[in-house]
């Protein structure tokens, strides 16, 4: 009869260990693995964004050779990304952008007006205080390609 209490004791310990493992240790191990695998991308983005934020003098060359000079301002947007004001000297709303390392990206964005829809996108690179980027503006029937050299103003 001594084997029955010993069996019940082992069963109870096994059940308790299983309960402890499934309710407490498994979530703890999962949380540790999840948290340790995350990197702090915000710090990298902030350092990258700080390099590009400012006012730039732009030399914008159209695909037909026409050149336009104007200024843009790149600032931190409300959503944590970047915003370009006075983009192409035609946009009255900020255009979103991002930077990772030295790669500057203007993701595809659609702007709808009363009579015209504009789609903007682009890609470039930051080299010191110079931002080189190409962008495209699509207006339905027209696709305008631009190549820009933007030099950061000294006071920004």
For residue 76, the domain's CATH number is 2.40.128.120
Is there a contact between 137 and 119 (Cβ–Cβ < 8 Å)?
Answer: yes
Residue carrying the six token digits 């027209």: 142
Q: Which domain holds residue 84?
A: 43-152
What 3-state DSSP class applies to 92?
Answer: coil
What 3-state DSSP class applies to 126?
Answer: strand
pLDDT at 92: 85
Round to whole Å and give the CA distance between 89 and 101: 26
Residues 67, 99 share a domain: yes
pLDDT at 10: 64
Q: Which residues contact 114 (CB under 8 A, 6 or more apart)?
A: none
Residues linked to residue 149 through DSSP beta bridges, in sequence order: 59, 132
Residues 132, 76 share a domain: yes
Residues 64, 33 share a domain: no
Q: Provide the domain count of the chain.
A: 2
Phi/psi for 121 (5° steps) reads -160, 160
Residues 47, 26 share a domain: no
Is there a contact between 148 and 62 (Cβ–Cβ < 8 Å)?
Answer: no
Round to whole Å and give the CA distance between 150 and 10: 75
pLDDT in tens, the chain (156 residues): 556 565 556 655 565 555 545 565 555 554 445 444 454 444 455 788 889 999 999 999 998 899 999 999 999 988 888 999 999 988 889 999 999 999 999 999 999 988 889 999 999 999 999 999 999 999 988 899 999 999 999 866
Round to whole Å and give the CA distance between 63 and 5: 89
Residues linked to residue 76 through DSSP beta bridges, in sequence order: 82
Round to whole Å and give the CA distance between 100 and 41: 10
What 3-state DSSP class applies to 80?
Answer: coil
């Amino acid at each position: 009869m001594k084997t029955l209490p010993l069996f019940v004791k082992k069963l109870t310990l096994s059940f308790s260990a299983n309960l402890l493992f499934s309710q407490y240790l498994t979530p703890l191990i999962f949380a540790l693995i999840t948290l340790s695998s995350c990197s702090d991308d915000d710090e990298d983005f902030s350092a990258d964004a700080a390099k590009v934020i400012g006012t730039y003098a732009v030399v914008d060359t159209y695909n037909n050779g026409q050149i336009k000079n104007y200024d843009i301002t790149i600032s931190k947007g409300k959503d944590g990304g970047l915003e370009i004001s006075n983009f192409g000297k035609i946009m009255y709303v900020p255009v979103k952008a991002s930077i990772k390392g030295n790669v500057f990206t203007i993701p595809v964005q659609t702007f709808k007006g009363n009579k015209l829809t504009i789609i903007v996108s682009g890609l470039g690179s930051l080299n010191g205080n110079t931002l080189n980027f190409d962008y495209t503006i699509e207006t339905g029937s027209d696709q305008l390609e631009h190549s820009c050299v933007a030099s950061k103003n000294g006071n920004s």
